[in-house]
Amino acid sequence: MLSRRDFLSGAAGGVAAAAVATTTTDAGAREAKPMPDHALGLLFDGTLCIGCRACVAACKEANGMPPERTMLEGGDYWDAPLDLSGKTLNVIKCYRDGAGTRKDEVNDGFAFTKTSCMHCVDPSCVSVCPVSAMTKDPVTGIVKYSLEACIGCRYCVAACPFGVPRFTYDEAFPRINKCQLCEQRHADGGYSACAEVCPTGATLYGRVKDLQQEVARRKALTPGAKTTYPRGRLGNGDSYQGVAKRYVDHVYGEKEIGGTQVLHLSGVPFELLNKPKLPLDAPARVAETLQGAIYHALMAPIGFLGALLALAYRHMRPADPPLERGVEPGASVKAREKGGEP
Amino acid sequence: MSTAAPHGAHPAHPVREVGHELPHVPAGAAHEEAAPVGGRIWNRFTAGLAALVLVMCAVLAMRFIRGIGAVTNLNDGYPWGLWIAYDVVVGSALAAGGFTVAFLTYILNRGEYHPAVRPALLAALFGYVQAGMSVFFDIGRYWEFWHMFWPRYVQVNSVLFEVSLCITTYTLVLFVEFTPVILERFGWERPRQKINRVLFFFVAVGVLLPTMHQSSLGSLLVIFGPQVHPLYQTQLLPLLFLTSCIGMGLAAVVFEGTVSALAFKRHLEQELLGKLIRIGTTLGLAFLVLRIGDCARRGVLGLAFQPTALSLLFWIENVLFLVPALLVATERARRHPQRLFVAACLLAVGGLLYRRSAYLVAYETGAGFRYFPSMGELAVSVGLVAFEILAITIAIRLLPVLPKEPEAAESA
């Protein structure tokens, strides 16, 4: 039989071991997830965006999202959403400084950025969802939402570092809404509506591998030189002549939280575009590693339960032999006479 | 503490009484040790509680007809608000006295804690029922809640899956642990003996499960990563939540013990409550050492000295964990019921503030979002607590929960 002292020191040791295991980085750590081979995604090049918001309208239409009323200075506007919401999966946001006359300049300049699902390689929303309503397609890597499974707990809303999944709070039978890369259009040969309607190729759809090459090509160009910009979907032949731009030395989404399938290029620093500054390690990996260390394939709780069962059995079964160790006689007599009932 | 002086004059009186009584309890009389308090169920107090429950029902009707947005201030920046941070995270921690007292009594075999077992289990039971109800009101697609337990849907990497499964199972375990009290009330001896034979299993499981989900309530925040302020975001969150919940749970037992002694004009089990609060405040100190040490180790302690509202909260919480330990540090100090009560209140509030800060204040998801609970949210939280107090009061009057009043105390 396990003595109380053994048990306590064992339990304390277990907690300490878990604490040590969780604070050292590699012990039993969950592996970082790789980019799926056929991952699909978007490239958004802010220097090409003219802020027409055709993509915002097209997204609404392609996904059957209702229009939204926005209150701004000088009146109400219909369908000029300022941010993502339960009714809006994609918005174009604007940075503006001073006179706001110089495109992609920090001072007295302006710049555009797109906000929609980043389709993370290791998504927090998938890791947190208790009912598998958020899943990552093993082939395309698209982060998908299943209304049928969702219980509306909103853990995904809270956990997403990009603030992407949104909830329809004003509905009696609510749901989560987020960009799913217009996957429903793929079967008919279609692709993301935002990329399809973009007149300048600022939003480009394609395989992530190809998009990464396109990013490398653009970054290697000399600013001001003539070049060709593809439009719509990479490799569909639609392109136009343009001038190479100057970029900040940061491809947003390339490394953030283990990488994403949507990549952003910009002429101004991403902090100015309100893109969150994020660690390279995926929070999903950090959290799952910690849980794994604590539960260590369920062995720790089973061991703990075994010790608890042994002691509870010993102290509560009426027919057990008398106890001596470290217990006041009155107390143990009482516990046994009670038959251990609470 | 000047009001404590009269008690200090003859401090050992109730203490000795209880201590000497134990060995003389005749075996046959053992199960008569607890007794219903009796008395009228409906009075002004319980009617007031019932009124608060009715207000909650009205708000809930609105919530279910018109949606969460109609009655709450929740938004996509703060998708979890009062109903989760307070009713579930704080509420279940205050109910942690159930498993802690069961652990002391049955796992460590410390019979002196036995009189606290039933009241602690009762409070835990309704604390967890309250948390479960709150989750049901909060989740948007409540009619699908069973997906959390259905193999086709469950997602084992989700900390929330573990928490919900564990809390649900534990609530059922609490029902089983409490069943003998009901059977005893109606004199059903045969089933009571049968249950008693397997009760050790439920007691053991009933200690394991809360250690799992109380720590996991901290782990829930780990994946929020940089969205939670570095003073609060740490890999030690599970351990911090576990240590502080034990302090909070025991504080709640002491609070309820004191209040029920006053409310039902009963003898105050001061020595017992003193021992419990001592353990609670010690765990509170352990929490404090872990927390400050962890902040120092991660090199973020400097952030606690910046002039921000959060660093002020950080220190207020720490003081609320430290002061109760000082208040009841000596044997002499623990003879003052007021001190025990104040220490319990401070410790509970400290744990409450720590949880609120971690879930709502230190959590920052980006500019432009504000959250303060609406009147509707408050009405539901208040209504749930009223329901809990009402249920516990009625149970104490009808069921053998509190220890049978010693004759000596009545004459004193």
* Among the partner residues A85, A152, A315, nearest to B139 by beta-carbon distance: A152
Residues 6+ apart with CB under 8 A from B223: A124, A127, A128, A159, A283, A284, A286, A287, B159
Residues in B closer than 8 angstroms to A287, CB to CB, are: 159, 219, 222-223
For residue A36, what are its two tokens?
Answer: 């799926």
Please answer whether residues A216 and A225 qualify as being in contact, where contact means their C-beta atoms are separated by less than 8 angstroms: no
Burial (CB count <10 Å: 0-12, 13-18, 19+), residue A223: exposed
3-state SS class at A42: strand
CB contact under 8 A, A304 and B121: no
CB contact under 8 A, A315 and B207: no
* Among the partner residues B139, B159, B205, nearest to A287 by beta-carbon distance: B159
The radius of gyration of chain B from alpha carbons, rounded to an integer in Å, stands at 22
Using CB atoms and an 8 Å cut-off, which of residues 384-403 of chain B contact chain A?
Answer: none
- Residue A318's pLDDT is 60
Q: How far apart are CA A333 and CA B112, in angstroms?
A: 11
A242 has which bridge partners? A227
For residue B288, the domain's CATH number is 1.20.1630.10
3-state SS class at B105: helix
Q: How far is B47 from chain A (nearest CA, A)?
A: 30
Q: How far apart are CA B173 and CA B160, in angstroms?
A: 20
* Among the partner residues A150, A169, A313, nearest to B200 by beta-carbon distance: A313
- Residue A322's pLDDT is 43
Residues in B closer than 8 angstroms to A16, CB to CB, are: none
Q: Would you say residue B42 lies in a domain?
A: no
CB contact under 8 A, B162 and A159: no
Instruction: Tell me the per-residue pLDDT of B82-97, one tens digit each, with 9 for 90 and over.
Output: 999 999 999 999 999 9
Residue A300 sits at the chain B interface (C-beta within 8 Å): no
Residues in B closer than 8 angstroms to A257, CB to CB, are: 225
| B379 sits in which H/E element | helix B375-398
| Mean local confidence (pLDDT), B254-259 | 96
Question: Which one of B158, B173, B213 would you mutate to disrupt binding with A, by most A Cβ within 10 Å of its Cβ?
Answer: B158
| Mean local confidence (pLDDT), B23-51 | 74
Residue type, A341: E
Instruction: Tell me the per-residue pLDDT of A143-184, one tens digit each, with 9 for 90 and over.
Output: 999 999 999 999 999 999 999 999 999 999 999 999 999 999
Residue B25 sits at the chain A interface (C-beta within 8 Å): yes
Helical segments of A233-339, H only: 283-295, 299-316, 329-337
For residue B31, what are its two tokens?
Answer: 């199960």
CB contact under 8 A, B160 and A130: yes
- Residue B409's pLDDT is 45
| Mean local confidence (pLDDT), B63-78 | 96
Q: How far is B324 from chain A (nearest CA, A)?
A: 24
Using CB atoms and an 8 Å cut-off, which of residues 240-279 of chain B contact chain A?
Answer: none
- Residue B374's pLDDT is 97
Which is it for the CA torsion B164, B167, B172, B173, positive or negative? positive
Q: How far is A25 from chain B (nearest CA, A)?
A: 11
Q: Would you say residue B357 lies in a domain?
A: yes
Please answer whether residues B6 and B337 qualify as being in contact, where contact means their C-beta atoms are separated by less than 8 angstroms: no
Instruction: Tell me the per-residue pLDDT of B163-198, one tens digit each, with 9 for 90 and over.
Output: 999 999 999 999 999 999 999 999 999 999 999 999
Q: How far apart are CA A86 and CA A171, in angstroms?
A: 10
A77 has which bridge partners? A70
Q: What is the per-residue burial (b if ≥16 Cβ within 10 Å, else e) of B314-348?
A: beebbebbbbbbebbeeeebbbbbebbbbbbbbbb
Whether residue B377 is predicted with pLDDT greater than 60 in this model: the reply is: yes
Q: Would you say residue B40 lies in a domain?
A: no
Q: Would you say residue B241 lies in a domain?
A: yes
Question: Which one of A2, A316, A333 would you mutate to disrupt binding with B, by most B Cβ within 10 Å of its Cβ?
Answer: A316
* Among the partner residues B31, B109, B181, nearest to A323 by beta-carbon distance: B109
The phi, psi pair for A338, rounded to 5°, reads: -70, -10
Looking at chain B, which residue has its C-alpha nearest residue A275?
Answer: B366
Domain that holds residue B280: 74-371
* Among the partner residues A131, A163, A334, nearest to B148 by beta-carbon distance: A131
Please answer whether residues A222 and A248 qualify as being in contact, where contact means their C-beta atoms are separated by less than 8 angstroms: no
Taking one residue from A and the other from B, the number of pairs with CB-CB distance under 8 angstroms is: 267
Angle made by CA atoms B94, B96, B101, in degrees to the nearest 5: 125
* Among the partner residues A15, A312, A323, nearest to B239 by beta-carbon distance: A15
pLDDT along chain A (342 residues), means of 10: 47 48 56 94 97 96 92 78 93 94 95 97 97 97 98 97 96 97 94 97 97 97 96 93 96 97 97 95 94 79 88 75 43 44 50
pLDDT bin (cut points 50, 70, 90) of residue B10 is: very low
Q: How far apart are CA B321 and CA B286, in angstroms?
A: 9
- Which residue in this structure is represented by tokens 């006041």? A328
DSSP code, position B228:
B
Using CB atoms and an 8 Å cut-off, which of residues 114-133 of chain B contact chain A?
Answer: 114, 117-118, 121
Domain extents in chain A: 4-29+292-337, 40-124+152-280
Instruction: Tell me the per-residue pLDDT of A15-55, one tens digit each, with 9 for 90 and over.
Output: 544 544 444 444 568 899 999 999 999 999 999 999 999 99
What's the CATH number of domain A40-124+152-280, 3.30.70.20, 3.30.460.80, 3.90.1200.10, 3.40.50.720? 3.30.70.20
Split into its structural domains, chain B has a count of: 1
- Residue A297's pLDDT is 61
Q: How far is A76 from chain B (nearest CA, A)?
A: 19
- Percentage helix, strand, coil, to 5, in chain A? 30, 20, 50
- Residue A1's pLDDT is 42
What is the greatest pairwise CA distance in chain A?
94
CB contact under 8 A, B80 and A175: no
